[in-house]
Amino acid sequence: MSKDNDFAIETHDLSRAFKNVVAVDKLSLDIERGEIFGLVGPDGAGKTTTIRLLCAIMNPTSGAAKVAGFDTLKDAEEIKKRIGYMAQRFNLYGDLSVIENLNFFADIFAVSGDVREERVAQLLSFARLTEFKDRRAAQLSGGMQKKLALACTLIHEPEILFLDEPTTGVDPVSRREFWDILSDLHLRGVTLFVSTPYMDEAERCSRVGLMFEGDMIVCDEPEKVKDLISGELIELRPDNLRKARKIVEALDGVLETQTYGDLLHIFVDNTEKRIPELENLLESQGIEVTGLRQTKPRMEEAFISLIRKRIAEGRANNPVVSEKD
C-alpha cells in the first residue's frame, strides 16, 4: 500500500546540475493521481534528467521530490515498486521472443506463478501482441517493439508510469495505437508522465509542461497554453517565403511570424483589419499568395512563441529557436 497522498508526484525546487550545465533548475510541480502529464521541450531541455530524478535513479543536487508519497532520496526502493519506467533507449532482448522478454521482466520484478501467467497473457492482449508472442523481439516492427517495451514496463502493475519519448521514430499509425493503449491505462487510474517531441501527443495530456534549459517555462492544460499566445493567427502560402516574411514583419499590427514548411504564420492584432492590408502589400510587392485563411494557434506555435520570448528577455543561454529561419 502506498501512503495516503493527494499527489502522485510532488517536487519542490528540484535541481540537478552536471559539470557545465544545470539540467533541471528548481522545478516545483504537483501532479495529481490519474493525470496524463506531458513534458515537452527541445533537445537538452532536461526532460530525461527530470524523469530520472523522479524515478529515483539519480539524486538531485538540491531540492526534493516525492513520488507515490515517498521521498526519492530516502525511499527509492518503495518508489521503484510502484512505478514503471520506459527509458528513452529502452532495451529489449532482441534474441528473446516477445513472451520471453515479458518473462524476463517478470523475473526482475519477482512476479511469479499463476499471477505471472495471467498477467503475461493480459499484457500480450493489451499490447495487441498475442499473435506475435513467439517472434523474436529483434524481428518486430518499431511500433511493436515500443508496445512490447511498454508491456514489459507494466509487468508489476505500476501505479505511476514514466515514459521518456516512448514513440519517437514510430510511424503515425503505430503512434496512435500506442496512445490508445495509454488511454486505456489512464482509464484504469494509472498516472502517466510522458515526455514527447510530438505536439499532437502533448494535446492529449491533461496538463503539459514546457521545459527549456532546465526551466519549466509553462505548465497548464493544453487549451490554456494555447491561450497564452497573443494575437490572432493568419496562415498563407506565399511563392517567396523569405521575402514575404520580411515584408510582412514590417507591417503595423504584426506581432510575430513563424514558418511551417512553405506556410507563413502571421500573428496580428486584428485579422479583419490586417488581412486586406496584408493582401494589398504582398500583391504590390509582386508576391503571389495562395491559401490565405484565419486559423487557431496550435500548441507548437504557443511553445515556439514562449521560447522566443524567453530568448528575447535575454534569460536563455543557448538559443535553439532561430529568429531568422
Interacting residue with ligand ATP among 29, 31, 45, 79 (CB under 6 A): 45
Which one of Mg ion, ligand ATP, none is in contact with 23 (Cβ closer than 5 to 8 A by kind)?
ligand ATP
Closest CA to 168 of 188, 187, 149: 149
Asked whether the beta carbons of 236 and 289 are under 8 A apart, the reply is yes
Which one of Mg ion, ligand ATP, none is in contact with 229 (Cβ closer than 5 to 8 A by kind)?
none
Interacting residue with Mg ion among 11, 15, 48, 191 (CB under 5 A): 48
Interacting residue with ligand ATP among 27, 35, 38, 41 (CB under 6 A): 41
Q: Which residue is nearest to Mg ion (CB)?
A: 48
Beta-carbon contacts of 223 under 8 Å, excluding residues fewer than 6 positions away, are none
Question: Which residue's CB is nearer to Mg ion, number 42 or number 63?
Answer: 42
The yes or no reply on residue 54 touching ligand ATP (CB under 6 A) is no
Q: How far is the CB of 149 from ligand ATP (least distance, A)?
A: 16
Q: How far is the CB of 198 from ligand ATP (least distance, A)?
A: 12
Distant-in-sequence contacts of 283-289, Cβ < 8 A, 24+ apart: 285/243, 285/247, 287/238, 287/239, 287/240, 287/243, 287/244, 287/247, 288/238, 288/239, 289/236, 289/237, 289/238, 289/239, 289/244
Strands (E), 166-321: 191-195, 207-212, 215-220, 232-238, 254-260, 263-268, 289-295
What is the DSSP pairing of strand 22-32 with strand 160-164?
A: unpaired
Interacting residue with ligand ATP among 34, 44, 63, 253 (CB under 6 A): 44
What CA–CA distances, in Å, run from 3 to 36, 39, 85, 285, 320? 21, 26, 20, 67, 42
Interacting residue with ligand ATP among 14, 23, 40, 151 (CB under 6 A): 23
CA–CA gap between residue 61 and residue 77 (Å, rounded) = 19
The yes or no reply on residue 48 touching ligand ATP (CB under 6 A) is yes
Residues in the interface with ligand ATP (CB under 6 A) total 12
Interacting residue with ligand ATP among 2, 21, 76, 133 (CB under 6 A): 21
Which one of ligand ATP, Mg ion, none is in contact with 106 (Cβ closer than 5 to 8 A by kind)?
none
Q: How far is the CB of 48 from Mg ion (least distance, A)?
A: 3
Q: How far is the CB of 139 from ligand ATP (least distance, A)?
A: 27
Locate 92 and state its grid cell: 529489449
Question: Which residue's CB is nearer to ligand ATP, number 17 or number 292?
Answer: 17
Instruction: Compute CA 114 distance to the chain's CA centroid, rounded to the nearest angstrom.
Output: 36
Asked whether the beta carbons of 27 and 10 are under 8 A apart, the reply is no
Q: How far is the CB of 213 from ligand ATP (least distance, A)?
A: 8
Q: How far is the CB of 145 from ligand ATP (least distance, A)?
A: 18
What CA–CA distances, in Å, run from 144 to 77, 127, 215, 217, 318? 30, 8, 34, 34, 37
The yes or no reply on residue 217 touching ligand ATP (CB under 6 A) is no
Residues that bind Mg ion (CB under 5 A): 47-48, 88
- Residues at the site binding ligand ATP, with contacts judged by CB under 6 A: 18, 21, 23, 41, 43-49, 88
